[in-house]
Structure 1
Amino acid sequence: MNDLMKTLLAQEEELQFDSFTNEDALQLGNIVVQHAKDVIGKGIAIHIENDEHPLYTHYMAGTSKDNIYWVNTKKNVVNHFGHSSLYVGEMFRDQGTTFPESSGLPLSEYQGEGGSFPIIVRGQGKVGTITVSGLTGEEDHQAAVDGIRKFLAK
């Protein structure tokens, strides 16, 4: 396991919620939108769902229908593997291969690119996902992480 993978697992351990409600999803999504406006300076797509249905979706100016594909394929990776989509992509790279070459999953539905992060409730496990699209995979991942950090700090 390389250093990036260790860092990503540490983020999943650190960024856990005591509970996660529909209202929390609304607040978290709005925090990420504001972060994109204030810090990133570029429009992104933000999608939050629990393990049953969508709770928050916003496509800022500058996004396109292509972001729908990326949101869904990255979110599906988190739901399949239980870890951030950046971690999963890095896991394959650490093994000397790539997600497309070795995952055995259809790329029409799964992409091991950064941007989707598990919503984890302490004592309960993964209860949903937050997914960002519109930047590089690493930047999408960081936007999700920064949003969760800001939410948990309040």
Structure 2
Amino acid sequence: MDIDADLERIALQERELQFDSFSLETGWALGSLLRDMAVERKLGVVIDVTLFSMPVFYTALEGSTPDNPNWVRRKRNCVFRFLKSSYATGLSLARQGSDITTKFGLPETEFAPHGGSFPIVVKGTGCIGAVTVSGLPQRDDHIMVVEALAKLLGKNVDALTLGA
């Protein structure tokens, strides 16, 4: 994995995977799509769609663990704090040889700069929430969220996914 290449691709994802509008129904559709993907692939994950104002969708699938909801919360906190994907935050810190506590004074018990949470952005408005998956290796959590967003937004998944 090339950190710089991944950060460049994630920046592209964050530019491309934006909504013209976003409703509670859109949030439910996004969460449901992720759930369908996880069930089809037999993945034990927790899926969460949360706006700054309220939770919209949550499910824990067979095989997920009691730790996954806490990972969701901590990854989502990174998106809410930095307004970019939790994976981008983690990769940026790794590239700098730092961590979230040293760089920003934020406790790891509250913030997890690991892959799996992605900002929900409405064009012309900005970040209004986050969609989060936990239960896979962090890069795979991130890839799954991006795949669902690309499908929902009618974007080319292959053009947006992270390289091998």
Alignment of 1:98-137 (within 5 A): 98-137=99-138
Which ranges in structure 1 are unaligned for 5 or more consecutive residues? none
Alignment-derived partner of residue 50 in structure 1: 51
Which ranges in structure 2 are unaligned for 5 or more consecutive residues? 156-164
What do residues 18-63 of structure 1 show as CA deviations (whole Å, max 9, x unaligned)? 111000111111101111122x431211000111110000111111
Alignment of 1:66-105 (within 5 A): 66-105=67-106
Tell me, in whole angstroms, the C-alpha distance in 2 between the residues paired with 1:137 and 1:101. 21
State the shift of 1:98 in Å.
3.0
CA RMSD after TM alignment: 1.5
State the shift of 1:2 in Å.
1.9
State the shift of 1:65 in Å.
1.7
Alignment-derived partner of residue 11 in structure 2: 9
Alignment-derived partner of residue 18 in structure 1: 20
TM-score normalised according to structure 2 size = 0.88
What do residues 51-99 of structure 1 show as CA deviations (whole Å, max 9, x unaligned)? 1110000111111221111000000000001110000001111112233
AA matched with 1:42: L
Tell me, in whole angstroms, the C-alpha distance in 1 between the residues paired with 2:138 and 2:86. 9
The alignment partner of 2:128 has SS state of: strand
What do residues 90-119 of structure 1 show as CA deviations (whole Å, max 9, x unaligned)? 111111223354332111110110000000
Contact 2:22–2:122, Cα closer than 8 Å, also in 1: yes
TM-score normalised according to structure 1 size = 0.94
Tell me, in whole angstroms, the C-alpha distance in 2 between the residues paired with 1:26 and 1:13. 22
